[in-house]
Amino acid sequence: MKVLVTGGAGFIGSHLVRQLLAAGNEVTVLDNVSTGDWGHLPAGCEEWEMDIRSQEIIPRIMKARFDAIVHLAAQTMVNVSIDDPAFDAMQNVVGTVNVLEAARKSEVGRVIFASTAAGYGDVAETELPIKEQQALQPMSFYGLSKVTVEKYLAMYKEVFGLDYVALRFANVYGERQGDTGEGGVISIFAKRVAAGKGITIYGNGEQTRDFIYAGDIAAGICAALETENVNAVYNLSTSTETSLNELVKIMEDITWKKVDVSYGAVRTGDIRRSVLDNSMAVQNLGWKPQTSLKKGLKNTIGYFKGA
């Protein structure tokens, strides 16, 4: 399969590209490397340094004739979306429409879209774990932009017949992760723990997330590229809720060191509890996560110790 991965030089993309190449696919990566790094990628993929907001991507994608596009390129920081909603929308909505225009004009087989659990907002405890049918009530412009793109995907299918799979990622972590984005808390913690430094938790530490290893996310994307169950939205998650205080305890168990923790004020747009139901993805994509949080954290801390 000939696959374009936008944002492929980023942290999730670097895991995905490795799996795609290992499976014998022909891979092209489009990235503006504002947050990504070509050094994250293995040999064997073609690299296009371009910005999805540029109209120039459309003829280039059309000429290449891809079988599928995996659209990872995005602005992923909640705080940035609050500070500059227009910038967030340009990246996540306008940039995505450029990708979709190129896809439908070149008759790409399908688009896989990296969506987010942030679209659900702060869900009542009685509604946990969150299913795909849950009402969408984003608390940030970042979450809103991703929800908006899901609606664009459905409309592109209805109007142009473009197949899609939207994957709502839980909090992704792993090697080569930066300090930004939804799962960036693990990257920040892992770097500081690896260096023997203390960490700051915003809130009381009882806020929860569904942390999923990037390698498992990449495997879920690969499953979405192959499935017949398209034109649907799936949660990619572990279906396990972990508090930040529990996260620190696991890190202490891995490193055999006490972590110095301080607590700060809750930040605007932060969700209190989040855990997603992954049963639909397990059933329809034939996928399930393979990496325990302890194993994934051990890999991640080990990576940052050696970085």
| Residue 235, beta-bridge partner list | 168
Distance CA 52, CA 86 (A): 15
Burial 25-34 (b: 16+ CB within 10 A, else e): bebbbbbbbe
For this structure, is 142 an active site residue?
yes
The residue among 110, 115, 149 whose CA lies nearest residue 130 is: 115
**In the chain, helix, strand, coil percent, each to 5?**
45, 20, 40
Helix (H) or strand (E) holding 250: helix 244-255
- Of 185, 182, 153, nearest to 170 (Cα)? 182
Handedness of CA 36, 37, 41, 46 (dihedral sign): positive
Residue 80 tokens, joined: 């940035």
Instruction: Please give the C-alpha separations between residue 211 and each of 128, 157, 237, in angstroms, as whole numbers.
Output: 15, 31, 7
Catalytic residue among 142, 156, 173, 213: 142
* Positions marked catalytic: 142
